[in-house]
Amino acid sequence: MLKLVFGIYAALAEFERELISEGIKAGLRSARARGRNGGPPCTMIPAKVRLAMASMGQP
* The CA-based dihedral angle spanning residues 9, 14, 18, 24, taken in that order and rounded to the nearest 10 degrees: 80
Residues 22-51 have pLDDT tens digits of 999 999 999 999 998 877 888 889 999 899
Helices marked H in the chain:
2-33, 46-55
Which domain covers residue 25, as residue numbers?
Answer: 2-55
pLDDT, position 17: 97
Domain count, the chain: 1
Cα–Cα distance list, 15 to 1, 22, 54 (Å): 21, 11, 50
Look at the alpha carbons of 56, 39, 35, 16 in this order and tell me if their dihedral is positive or negative: positive
